[in-house]
Amino acid sequence: MMFELFDMDHDGKVTKEEMRRVLQALDSAIWTDEKVDKVFTAFDSSEDEALQFTEFWGWVCGHGGKATDDFKPALLNQAVEQDRERRAKIDERQDERQANKEAREEKEQTKARKDQERAEGSRWTREEFVQEKLQAGLSKEVAVKLFQSGDEDHDGDITMQEKGWLAAETASTTKQIRGLYQTSAGAQNIDAKGNLDVKGLDSGGMDSVVQAFLAWDKDGNGCISAEELAQVLTVLNPKMGMQTVEALCREIDINRDGSIDLKEFVDWLTGEASKKKKMKKKAKEEQDAKLARSLHEKRAAEAIELKLQTEFETIQHKQLDSFCARKKLTMSCGTLNLGPGGASGPCKTCNAKHGWLCHGCGFVSWSEDCVGGCKKKFGWSCISGKCEKKRCGCKKKPEIWQKTGNVHSLAALSMSAKNMVEAAKEQ
């Protein structure tokens, strides 16, 4: 131990500098440079400028008649203390290695357990949880907040137990469920009475309302059955009982026909059905126009995805006669300009674009741009190539057509694009 005290670089020998540093740290007054040199030279019998272990042994043990009692005890104490510290560090490193090993094993066991739970369907990642809630019609923002609230141990997953706790806190009553979908549309648009004010919704908020309805309407027939409602509520709360499902169905299904249509769904979110003072005509037109735009864009996107764009645009074109008759508009052209890209140029027949029906959002426009704000990737139908004595309605401001210029009814748009095409074929 004493040799290791001197052999600071652990090369198996003690140099003069190493001896000087130890001894002068012990007592610099006694161990001067001259004395260290003298002792070192006396015991460096091999004259290699280093004390080997046997040479060091001879010095410490007092061979050659050199007494060591005056410094050996102090050196021994230092050596013992250094050895104790060294062993303590070794023990500490061993404990650390053991702790790291146990931590790795625990981590591997935890990972294996989580993988097994995922395989068994009792654990979900954030992405899986959010996607599940999106399919139930909630917005991504609300879905993410629900996950953050449910992931109590903050491990990035949500377990069956955590999911159950979350459902009990957020989706166990009809009021809580209604609140989730209202918040998805826009928390800032919920009034003091807990009703959603759709008049203040931007396009994104209205899209959330529409997306929720479409998510509930699994078969795309435009109405939500009790069975479809039960499927959605089970996603929100796996322990949801039929009693709550039936209560919610009764709450929304005002006309008691056994299914929920779009109007009833929106009235449920807005509280319109229970209000004594009903929505004014102008406000109703604005609400329905926002719904129509959002619904129509959704159906147009569906038609493209299903490769039914031509059929879908043809259906809209066939609605023009009745629409123009209602609005007392003269359709002097009536040419169908099919997409994609048809809405960006003039009519292929009359080379004009004075009045036209946009197939992307379903609105009639009397301006250079589509009043529905679509991206002009769809076709369009030409209503008139000329303005005949100002009888076409072009004097009306674009805002009027934004509210009343939709060709399809909300009932028709409530059906999926596939159902709309199939229904048109049957006619």
| Same domain, residue pair 200 and 57 | no
| Same domain, residue pair 244 and 182 | yes
**What span, in angstroms and rounded, lies between the C-alpha atoms of 240 and 168?**
9
In this predicted structure, what is the pLDDT of residue 390?
67
| Same domain, residue pair 227 and 340 | no
Look at residue 112 and tell me if it is in a domain: yes
3-state secondary structure of 337: strand
Q: Number of structural domains, the chain? A: 3
Residue recorded with tokens 């993410």 = 144
Look at residue 284 and tell me if it is in a domain: no
Look at residue 410 and tell me if it is in a domain: yes
Residue 391 pLDDT exceeds 70: no
Provide the domain limits for residue 377. Answer: 306-426
Please report, as a single letter, which amino acid is at residue 382.
C
| Same domain, residue pair 403 and 328 | yes
Which one has a higher pLDDT value, 427 or 234? 234
Residues sharing a CB contact under 8 Å with residue 407, sequence separation 6 or more, in sequence order:
316, 319, 320, 323, 357, 362, 363, 364
Look at residue 204 and tell me if it is in a domain: yes
In this predicted structure, what is the pLDDT of residue 388?
66
Task: Encode pLDDT of 199-233 as tens digits.
Answer: 778 888 889 999 999 999 999 999 999 999 999 99
Which one has a higher pLDDT value, 199 or 22? 22
User: Of 260, 279, 298, which closes a domain?
Assistant: 279
In this predicted structure, what is the pLDDT of residue 65?
66
Name the band, by pLDDT with cuts 50, 70 and 90, for residue 343.
low
| Same domain, residue pair 254 and 167 | yes
User: Of 76, 100, 120, which closes a domain?
Assistant: 120
Q: What percent of the chain has pLDDT over 70?
A: 96
| Same domain, residue pair 5 and 80 | yes
| Same domain, residue pair 188 and 325 | no
Closest by CA to 349, choosing from 320, 393, 325, 384, is: 384
Look at residue 298 and tell me if it is in a domain: no
Give the residue-averaged pLDDT of 54-79: 81
The CATH number of residue 85's host domain is 1.10.238.10
User: Residue 159: beta bridge partners?
Assistant: 123
Closest by CA to 202, choosing from 213, 189, 190, is: 189
In three-state form (DSSP H/G/I as H, E/B as E, the rest C), the secondary structure along 243-269 is HHHHHHHHHHCCCCCCEECHHHHHHHH
Task: Encode pLDDT of 239-248 as tens digits.
Answer: 888 888 889 9
In this predicted structure, what is the pLDDT of residue 87?
87
DSSP 363: B
| Same domain, residue pair 273 and 350 | no
Closest by CA to 331, choosing from 303, 308, 350, is: 350
Mean pLDDT of the chain: 89
Q: E-assigned strands of 94-193?
A: 123-125, 157-159
Residue 180 pLDDT exceeds 80: yes
Instruction: Enter the pTM of the model.
Output: 0.73
Give the residue-averaged pLDDT of 64-81: 79
Residue 179 pLDDT exceeds 80: yes
In this predicted structure, what is the pLDDT of residue 353?
82
Residue 170 pLDDT exceeds 90: yes
Residue 387 pLDDT exceeds 90: no
Look at residue 182 and tell me if it is in a domain: yes
| Same domain, residue pair 371 and 230 | no
3-state secondary structure of 199: helix
Task: Encode pLDDT of 104-156 as tens digits.
Answer: 999 999 899 999 998 898 999 999 999 999 999 999 999 999 999 999 989 99
Give the residue-averaged pLDDT of 33-54: 90
Give the chain's end-to-end CA distance (angstroms, integer): 103
State the helix-helix crossing angle for 262-270 and 281-305, rounded to 10 degrees.
130
Look at residue 53 and tell me if it is in a domain: yes
Look at residue 292 and tell me if it is in a domain: no
Give the residue-averaged pLDDT of 158-183: 93
Task: Encode pLDDT of 406-424 as tens digits.
Answer: 999 999 999 999 999 999 8
In this predicted structure, what is the pLDDT of residue 342?
61
User: Of 68, 93, 120, which closes a domain?
Assistant: 120
Which one has a higher pLDDT value, 220 or 367? 220
| Same domain, residue pair 143 and 105 | no
| Same domain, residue pair 365 and 327 | yes
| Same domain, residue pair 136 and 273 | yes
In this predicted structure, what is the pLDDT of residue 307?
93
CB-CB contact of 264 with 248 (8 Å):
no
